[in-house]
A and B are shown apart, each in its own frame.
Chain A
Amino acid sequence: MAAITERQKLAYANAQAADGRVNLEFETDEGMTLNMGPQHPATHGTLRIVLKLDGEQVISCEPVMGYMHRGYEKLTEVRTYPQVTTLVNRIDWLGSFANEVPFILAAEKLMDIEAPPRAQWIRTLLFEMSRIANISLFVGDMALHIGAMTAAFYAFRDREYVLNQIESATGGRFHPNFDRIGGLKDDLPKGWIVDTKASMERIRDFCDEMETLVEGNEIFQARTRGVGVIPADVAMAYGLSGANLRASGVDWDLRRDQPVGLAWNEVDWHVWTHPDGDSFSRFWVRLQEIRESTKIIDQLLDGLPSGAIMAKVPRIIKVPEGEAWVATENPLGEMGYYVVSKGDLGPFRVKIRTASFNNVAVVPWVTRGVYVPDVVTILASLYFILGDIDR
């Protein structure tokens, strides 16, 4: 090994100082510090995870968040209410329509407006479609993290069927920006219902395919079963929500338990839970969720009410003074907006509760004593979107 020059020493010290607290804490004599991220394939985005390893076994682990902080909560304060939906679309960028809904519902709650039934149903439709678009990518992504590359391509391929439908209804594939206070921007285009039903068939085929290709694979099961077990009480204590909580055996779904006025109560569907709480059960629960979503969409399409898609809303939207909290069951888990209004054109304060932040918070607890490959499995199965962590 070449002798270390003064320049190298200085560069290393600078790097140490820049890395700050985390490195000081982890750079000790025992064990090896492995810095995963901010640029690392497994953290799909800019999450940084500092692992302390003994061989390949994890002694401790700390996720460092904030590399993708975009200040959305602050930015909403200098936007008007209709402009905020454009921003919040980008929080969970894979299921963007679902981000708009709770904010609009909170604003409607403050203004005491209720969207007409047709708008509510179409909102629910698009909400569930963004759930499929989000979770179908999870399915491929988790397989990719465990090493099966082909499933990821299938996920990207079949997600298009949903994205095409979202695009033909809203004009945007990823960021529809379609929800308005009091209703929706437009009505559905002609022929959309038939096309959507066909695309739901494709999604169900995709689920079957993933069940045989990924879920039934022995290596996949060996890699995921019993890995990253989160018991129900720990899941509750860390504030997990969504499929991560349901995979720990907690029967909890805001769509059913806390109706916010959308059409979920009008249709027949099932909340799946899994008793194991391991990575496999998180995968399984999410796969079932896609199936349930297709069922919900099919039923909503059959019973879509006619009528207006926009309630009577003043031309210039001023929200009366007050505070409102609305949370919905988003693809990643519970997403809530706490909106404080002072009667202006824009909100005074907005606090956004996102699911991924809590879902990642459990990583240090669950990765103790596992091997490096299992860290990746656990991260993939907990499923986070970086925009949803840092906002």
Chain B
Amino acid sequence: MVLALHLSYWQVSALRSVGILAAVLLPAGTFVYLFLFKMVSFMQSRLGPMEAGPFGSMQLLAEVGKFLQKEDIVPERADRKLFKFAPYLVVGTVLLVYLAVPFGPDMWFANLNGGVFYLLAVSSISALGVLIAGWSSANKYALIGGLRAAGQLIAYELPMVLAVIGVVIQAGTMNLAGIVAAQAGGSIFGFDGIGNPYAITQIVGLCIFLVAVQAELGQTPFDMPIAESELVTGYITDYSGLRFMMFFIVEFASAGAFAAVAATLFLGGWTVPAAWADLNSNWFNVIGPIIMLTKMLLIGGLIFFVRFTFPRFREDQLQRLAWTVLIPISLLNILATTVLKVAF
């Protein structure tokens, strides 16, 4: 299946550049407005922003404008080059994660055969950026925050990988488009009415994946790298202006990225669980991204609902949870998946 119109290479590249910016910024903005501004406000019995635009919908633009006007301060004793470089590294990670996610039958930036492997590999680059930010700030709070982030990301990378292995075993491919196709065309123990969204058959994997995502993103209850009541704001303590905004956007853009990954791996990606839908239709290039965004909002809502409900773990409790609970369960999950895959 190819698009009807033929574009030259530079046109495709330009489209992809625009597309990936839209893919990063659109969910991020939606998440900020919908969850950080509104859902949380309603949870906390307040209205949230109401002044800028109808129901405060322009508040995000106002915030961006505010941050752009602020002075970009580099602390005197900071490692200037690394300090300035760190936010770009973190932003780059999110762009790389979106690269492999398919949004429709032809709506993808790169169709990689080792897509899952690639995703898990690039998603941990942001830890490097966070560590650089924490180290180069020459601030003790930032340093503690950066080290906490590094320890946390190492601990939670493993359950995440193990949770995804279950999906890979079931789909029989590491290609993300292939995983989406396997979910759309699969069957649950012979029943193929809704395909086989792995949210149902890999429910354990999904739960572990979401917990690990929560930790990877550094959202409460795993927000020790930020821990605003202990470390001021952790590794972003010394950042201001544009660079602070980059960290801020990344927090939500990467929430969107991981929500996209979770939607692709567990919720059937851009497809709908309906047997009548012709998934090869060109229409899915148009409504696919919308379906995808809906699923991302679902997972994002869950992430932020948890964030604003729970208190924060302590660093040692977090490590204990990862190594003694999540990893054994995910290993058992892989075992069960393998046995069932061979048996059926």
A371 touches B308 (CB 8 A): no
Interface string of A353-380 (1 = CB under 8 A from B): 0000000000000000001111110000
Look across to chain A and name the residue whose beta carbon is closest to the beta carbon of B81: A2
In A102-159, which residues have CB < 8 Å from any B CB? 143-150, 153-154, 157
A149 to B310 Cα, complex, angstroms: 8
Can you report 13 A-B residue pairs in the complex whose CB atoms are below 8 A from each other? Answer: A2-B80, A8-B77, A32-B140, A147-B223, A147-B310, A147-B311, A150-B40, A214-B311, A217-B311, A223-B313, A223-B317, A373-B312, A373-B315
Q: When A and B form their complex, which 8 residue pairs have the shortest distance between CB atoms, in order from nearest?
A: A147-B312, A153-B44, A148-B311, A146-B311, A147-B311, A145-B229, A373-B314, A376-B230
Look across to chain B and name the residue whose beta carbon is closest to the beta carbon of A141: B229
B79 touches A222 (CB 8 A): no
A349 to B61 Cα, complex, angstroms: 57
- Return chain A residues, CB-CB under 8 Å to B8: none
A153 touches B227 (CB 8 A): no
Q: Which of B40, B313, B316 contacts A219 (CB 8 A)?
A: B313
Report the stretch among A34-42, A184-192, A295-303, A314-322 that lies at the interface.
Answer: A34-42
B220 sits at the interface (CB 8 A): yes
B229 touches A376 (CB 8 A): yes
Interface string of B230-253 (1 = CB under 8 A from A): 111000000000000000000000
B308 touches A149 (CB 8 A): yes
User: A219-B221, A222-B313 in contact; A149/B44 too (CB < 8 A)?
Assistant: yes
Q: Which of A40, A41, A149, A154 has the most CB of B within 10 A?
A: A149
User: A145-B229, A147-B221, A149-B44 in contact; A220/B140 too (CB < 8 A)?
Assistant: no
A358 to B232 Cα, complex, angstroms: 26
Report the minimal beta-carbon distance from B334 to chain A, rounded to whole angstroms: 27
B79 touches A373 (CB 8 A): no
A56 to B317 Cα, complex, angstroms: 14
Which positions in A face B, CB cutoff 8 Å?
1-2, 4, 8, 11, 32, 34-35, 40-42, 56, 143-150, 153-154, 157, 214, 217, 219-220, 222-223, 371-376
Interface size on B, residues (CB 8 A): 32
Which positions in B face A, CB cutoff 8 Å?
40, 43-46, 76-77, 79-80, 140-141, 144, 220-221, 223-224, 227-232, 308-317
- Return chain B residues, CB-CB under 8 Å to A154: 44-45
B140 touches A1 (CB 8 A): no
B44 touches A147 (CB 8 A): no
Report the minimal beta-carbon distance from B174 to chain A, rounded to whole angstroms: 35
- Return chain A residues, CB-CB under 8 Å to B77: 2, 4, 8
A222 touches B309 (CB 8 A): no
- Return chain A residues, CB-CB under 8 Å to B231: 372
A56 touches B315 (CB 8 A): yes
A217 to B311 Cα, complex, angstroms: 8
B310 touches A217 (CB 8 A): yes
B230 touches A148 (CB 8 A): no
A372 touches B144 (CB 8 A): yes
